[in-house]
Amino acid sequence: MLTRKVATVLAGFLIASNSFGQGADSAVDFQQQIRPLLVKHCVSCHGPEKQKGNLRLDQERYARRTGSLGLPVLGAARTDSELYSRLTSQDEDYRMPRGETDLSTDEIELFGRWIDDGSPWSGFVLEPTSAAQRNRHSYWRARGLALVEYAGGWLAASAIVGGILLVIMTRRYLLRSVPKERNRVPVSWFLIVFLIIALGGLRAVYRGQGARTSEEWRQKLERLRAELSYEDELKDTSGPKAIRPLHPSRMGGRYYRGNDERDPQLFNSGFYLTSTFDIELRNDEGGRLAWGDPVPDALWLTVTISRAQGASLELFSPEIMNRAFMSSEWINDLQGMQISSAPVRLSEIEPGNRWLAKFPILAPMLDQRSTAEIYLCFGLLEGRTNMNAKAHYGIFYDIFNSGGVIGRNSELWMGAIPLSAKVLYPKSGEISLPEWFDFRPIPQIEGANSQDSKLLGIDGYAF
């Protein structure tokens, strides 16, 4: 009997030992082991709502791309994986998740084994929802919060009176056979009080208890409506996708790109110039063309990007500027998208300070127009295959050949393509479009500025 018990214990021990050994070397289960870690540590900054560093980890088709630095995130050995490098870095500004509790040694090793196995992926980290669905949910959530904000007191009072009324009516129903008591308060009085409070609550909802609060909610709801309509606009292939600056008709000129980080430690709290874009129409000899000039046989659209005074050199490193290019095709971040025309890259004309791109455009025939939008894009291409590039700016031209010269009704302008329509209705703490890109000058840095890479937003920067 004792021998049998000993054998049973030894067998159990061997099975447990074998199971333990297999657990250390067996394949990592994505849904059971990796997905919970991505949900807990990653998707709040790299999910459907935010994509810091141009990285999204809630779906495989996004995670298989590279981030803003063009480094492989998945599908590589841990020694070449940007994800693993970020998890194990000793640099607090580089290590992820930034500003949050670090992953445990076991959790990091789990990621390492998963990456070494080729990062097998199954299903979704978060169930996919469209931006339109999320914004519609936010819209109705905002309306519900507005109701509480405007009429919280009235609603509470209505609930109390309604509860008292319900108790009285229930009591009368249960005791309807009991003789009526004298001097009892009529139910109709409570009904009148309830209606007065309810009407007061409706008045508070529609008129607002405070102009400031009412305006804030109005702007929020308008911003959400704008996001929905802007999504529909991007689906339309006709017309320019860039937002036209509010300047008169002109033939190119200078545009200003402002910083998109805000912090009191930065110069002017972060509202300063980072670069300028000079847009020009030129002939084969390089001469600038304007209204009334003869229409040449060949036209060139040129873009000169200049680093602003005091702007960090890290924002204009070769690694960043080499990912900028011009294309006649609308490019989103769809991985694997084939670009039919060759992209035009920037050439450095003053090291670390100025870059030039020349894009050939079709010259209009006599009394004809040549109209198109050229896109200034940023991201990684492999040949003509898109990895994570997207259009950031649009340059729209409409050149009319009026009797052999450039007609006065011709125009050339540049506009930003916002990644989110919130720039149309910025709330407190958000950045309005003219603060980020405009035809009017933006303040330049004067004196010292912070060199903190986190404050400057160098990680994930795109010009």
Both 341 and 423 in a single domain?
yes
Both 303 and 428 in a single domain?
yes
How confident is the model at residue 54, as a pLDDT? 66
- pTM of structure: 0.52
Crossing angle of helices 131-174 and 187-207, in 10° steps, is 170
Crossing angle of helices 211-235 and 131-174, in 10° steps, is 130
**CA distances from residue 369 to 248, 286, 402, 412 in whole angstroms, order as listed:** 20, 22, 9, 13
How confident is the model at residue 152, as a pLDDT? 58
Which residues face 255 on adjacent strands?
277
How confident is the model at residue 243, as a pLDDT? 82
Catalogue the E-assigned strands of 246-298: 253-258, 273-282
Classified as helix, coil or strand, 437 is strand
Q: CA 38 to CA 103: how far, in whole Å?
A: 11
Both 74 and 181 in a single domain?
no
**pLDDT by residue (tens digit) across 228-258?**
444 444 444 444 578 888 788 999 999 999 9
Both 176 and 272 in a single domain?
no
Asked if the structure places residue 389 within a domain, the reply is yes
Q: Which amino acid is at 333?
A: D
Picking from 233, 255, 287, the residue at the C-terminal end of a domain is 233
How far is CA 211 from its chain centroid? Answer: 30
Both 105 and 138 in a single domain?
no
Q: CA 129 to CA 48: how far, in whole Å?
A: 8
Both 154 and 9 in a single domain?
no
Both 135 and 277 in a single domain?
no
Contacts of 426 (CB under 8 A, 6+ apart): 223, 432
Q: CA 209 to CA 108: how far, in whole Å?
A: 51
Picking from 207, 233, 259, the residue at the C-terminal end of a domain is 233
Mark the ranges of the chain whose per-residue pLDDT is less than 50: 1-23, 129-132, 134, 178, 183, 208-213, 224-239, 420-428
Both 95 and 224 in a single domain?
no
Both 401 and 447 in a single domain?
yes
- Which residue range(s) make up the domain with 268? 246-456
Asked if the structure places residue 123 within a domain, the reply is no
**pLDDT by residue (tens digit) across 107-136?**
999 988 988 888 888 766 655 544 445 455
Both 450 and 314 in a single domain?
yes
User: Is residue 292 within 8 Å of residue 365, measured between CB atoms?
Assistant: no
| Residues present in the chain in total | 463
